[in-house]
A and B are shown apart, each in its own frame.
Chain A
Amino acid sequence: MTATNPKLPPVATLAQQCSINPPKLSAPITNWAKAASSGQNTFPKTIVGKLPADAFKNK
């Protein structure tokens, strides 16, 4: 939190983004996902991000 200046927001610094708690499982759904099959899944690979040429154009 950027506490030294009250005009600065408490949520927008990098370290504070998404600083929220997961929802409570008050009504949990059981078996909504299929059983894991070990070794069968490949985690998504990171891609090289690219913004289109018109990104931010006239903005």
Chain B
Amino acid sequence: MPLTHQQLNQLRTLCQQNPIGAIGGANLSAYFPGIQANQCACWRWASSGFNTAIGDDPAWMFTAIMLGSALNPGSTWANTPAAQAYANNRYAEYLQYQANNYQAVNAVTWNNWVTSVESIIAASTCQLAGLTPGAGPQTNGERYFVVMHFDRISNGQNNAPNYTHWWLKIDLGNGQFCCLEMFPGSTNLACRINNAYAVADNVECEVTDLTAGHLAVLNAVL
């Protein structure tokens, strides 16, 4: 389900009327009484509009790949044998990269391996929410992207695959876009105009439209 022409034009007007980097905030508690900040993780908003279960946090996949730990019992990840197998196999490879001082393993460079893992888990998280991969402008010229940012290196050390933030990017055409995002411990929906949290080490999953959850929220505020 896409945004309406009117909603898209409202965002386009915001882009035209505000400077690059401007940020708006709408506290969702005003629209959804009783909403709790711990329901509003960035990944959950961006990938599903809060439709996905809190326990399906893709952090469980990343942590399993880093530590070989178990996936969250009862989660979709844990209940999907292919996901468990994927985590197990990547954990084994991660140990090899560490042992090889991050030299290529099976002719795959460390950076390419990390990028692959990031991309696959981001895409799977979108699929979990029922989003359909797609590319190109939709009916009203807009494009939808679920964006996952990760930290490749911290303090000079290679990080295991991870995420540190997610957001929903709506490309409005003509070089204009909005990033709609949530942050830990907050019910505030931020709208970032023609600017992004980060420009590198992002996985952009383009999808054909939004979830019912996205629209429930955006119909309330736009």
Contact = CB atoms under 8 A, between A and B. Distances in A.
Interface of A: 2, 6-14, 17-23, 25-30, 32-34, 36-52, 55-57, 59
B66 A12 contact: yes
Contact of A33 (B48, B57, B221): B221
Contacts of B147: none
Contacts, number: 179
Contacts of A17: 43, 57, 59, 62, 162-164
Contacts of A14: 57, 59-60, 63
The secondary structure that dominates the B interface is: mixed
Given A9-B162, A29-B23, A47 B193 contact: no
Nearest to B220: A41
Interface stretch (B78-86, B137-145, B169-177): B78-86
Interface residues of B, number: 78
A29 B191 contact: yes
A59 B127 contact: no
B30 A20 contact: no
A58 B222 CA distance: 41
Contacts of B18: 27, 29
B51 A46 contact: yes
A11 B56 contact: no
Interface string B26-38: 1000111111000
A2 B157 CA distance: 13
B96 interface: no
B129 interface: yes
A34 B154 contact: no
Given A20-B165, A29-B18, A32-B14, A11 B151 contact: yes
Given A43-B216, A48-B76, 8 more contacts: A13-B67, A17-B57, A23-B192, A25-B23, A27-B19, A44-B51, A46-B53, A55-B80
B213 to A, nearest CB: 3
Nearest to A34: B221
Contacts of A49: 52-53, 56, 75-76, 128-129
